[in-house]
Amino acid sequence: MARDMSDKEILKMELEQLKKEVNTPRTPVSANCADTITFVEGMLPNDPLIKGVPDDKNPYKGDKGGCIIT
């Protein structure tokens, strides 16, 4: 566990990790951002928190529902 490791061991662990990470395949930000935007625009019409939900369909607006007392 990290708590029981000496500084040296933690550094060694970090170093191993960094060596692996330097070689990770990466793609340009512009391409990824464009993808993200397309994704969001596609999903936007179905997002209830943005487009809103008609009051009669929204379980949170209107009466609480209440309890039935027998």
- Which residues of this chain interact with other proteins, rule CB under 8 A? 1-3, 7-8, 10-15, 17-22, 24, 26-37, 39-41, 43-44, 46-50, 53, 58-61, 64-67
CA angle 4/6/11 to nearest 5° reads: 120
- Smallest distance from other proteins to CB 16, Å: 9
- Smallest distance from other proteins to CB 44, Å: 5
Tell me whether residue 66 or residue 70 sits nearer to other proteins (CB atom).
Answer: 66
Q: What is the DSSP string of 2-58?
A: GGGS-HHHHHHHHHHHHHHHHT-----HHHHHHHHHHHHHHHGGG-HHHH---TTT-
- Smallest distance from other proteins to CB 51, Å: 9
